């Protein structure tokens, strides 16, 4: 069963995806990570993307769809998680076409719900390893790094994402409400929606998702 995550910023889709990757062998496709990899290259294209992300706005559908299609073409017969795509109704329609072309029918959209205040706290406390991409949170015991500023997994340096500040977070959250939230009804109407409350942290979210996957396997 492939998974599409629909979630407000900092709901924990990256952290839960990493758990599904580690424990269930999912391929984790994060469009945010694909964009950040372009920014790291320091090209003109990367700089343009950086300007957009820093403002909390969405990158154009053309750019993001091209990056995603290139990445999807590299995975064969492996189950995957889409973390961050689709982000609006146009992208959802495009994804339908891509799935039709690739004959992918086995998928579920999971809405990771969170209230704005908790999401903001998560965003402001988030730390990401610059070397391996592992994510931590300085405000939550469950996901704090063992040593301040150092990755538990590879000892790389931990940094804050440039868009994890209060001002940009508010824009990102509003963008989510205006253009991404309608995807919940879109997938509900297709009979492809599950809802997971992420308030109790990533381990709890993982367990709720595991139950969903198990019941889907039983029913199919
Ligand atoms: P994320 O890592 O999912 O929080 O994404 C970080 C930023 O990357 C977002 O705030 C957007 O600016 C951009 N982004 C990621 N995925 C998409 C997408 N599917 N469409 C447009 N912009 C995206």
Sorted by where each begins, the domain ranges of the chain are 2-114+176-219
**Chain-wide mean pLDDT for the chain?**
94
pLDDT single digits (tens) 193-216: 999 999 999 999 999 999 999 998
Does the pLDDT of residue 76 top 80, yes or no?
A: no
Q: For position 220, what pLDDT does the model report?
A: 61
User: How many helices and strands, by DSSP H and E, does the chain display?
Assistant: 9, 8
Output the CA torsion sign for 167, 171, 174, 180. negative
Catalytic residue among 24, 79, 161, 170: 161
And the tokens for 188? 């509900």
The pLDDT of residue 184 is 98
Ligand 1: which atom is nearest the Cα of residue 33?
2
Residues, the chain: 220
Is 110's pLDDT higher than 80? yes
**Distance between CA atoms of residues 148 and 23, nearest Å:** 26
Element at 218 (helix H, strand E): helix 202-219
If you measure from the C-alpha of residue 31 to the centroid of ligand 1, how many angstroms do you get, rounded to a whole number?
Answer: 6
Domain 2-114+176-219 has CATH 3.40.50.300: yes
Among 69, 87, 146, 192, the one annotated catalytic: 87
126 is catalytic: yes
218 has a pLDDT exceeding 80: no
Active site residue 13: yes
pLDDT at 219 over 70: no
The atom number, within ligand 1, closest to the CA of 36 reads 8
Cβ atoms of residues 54 and 163 within 8 Å: yes
Q: For 8, which DSSP code?
A: -
Tens-digit pLDDT profile for residues 154-179:
999 999 999 999 999 999 999 999 99
What pLDDT score was predicted for residue 75?
A: 86
Q: For residue 23, how far is its CA from the centre of ligand 1 (angstroms)?
A: 25
Q: With bands split at pLDDT 50, 70 and 90, how would you rate the model's confidence at 145?
A: very high
Environment class of 52 (CB within 10 Å of its CB; exposed 0-12, middle 13-18, buried 19+): middle
Please check the confidence at residue 46 and state whether its pLDDT lies above 80: yes
Pocket of ligand 1 (CB under 6 A): 9, 31-32, 35, 52-53, 56-59, 64, 84-85, 87, 91, 163, 172
């Amino acid at each position: 069963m492939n998974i599409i995550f629909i979630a407000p910023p900092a709901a924990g889709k990256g952290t839960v995806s990493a758990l599904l990757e580690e424990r269930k062998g999912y391929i984790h496709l994060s469009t945010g990570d694909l964009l950040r990899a372009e920014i790291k290259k320091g090209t003109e294209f990367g700089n343009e993307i950086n300007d957009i992300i820093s403002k909390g706005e969405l990158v154009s559908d053309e750019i993001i769809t091209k990056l995603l299609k290139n990445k999807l073409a590299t995975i064969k017969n492996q189950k995957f998680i889409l973390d961050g795509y689709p982000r609006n109704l146009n992208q959802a329609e495009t994804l339908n076409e891509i799935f039709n072309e690739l004959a992918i029918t086995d998928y579920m959209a999971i809405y990771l719900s969170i209230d704005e205040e908790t999401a903001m706290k998560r965003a402001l406390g988030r730390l990401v390893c610059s070397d391996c991409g592992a994510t931590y949170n300085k405000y939550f015991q469950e996901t704090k790094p063992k040593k301040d500023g150092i990755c538990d997994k590879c000892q790389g340096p931990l940094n804050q994402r440039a868009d994890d500040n209060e001002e940009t977070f508010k824009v990102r959250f509003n963008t989510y409400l205006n253009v991404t939230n309608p995807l919940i009804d879109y997938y509900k109407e297709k009979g492809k929606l599950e809802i997971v409350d992420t308030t109790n942290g990533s381990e709890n979210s993982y367990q709720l998702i595991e139950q969903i996957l198990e019941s889907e396997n039983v029913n199919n």
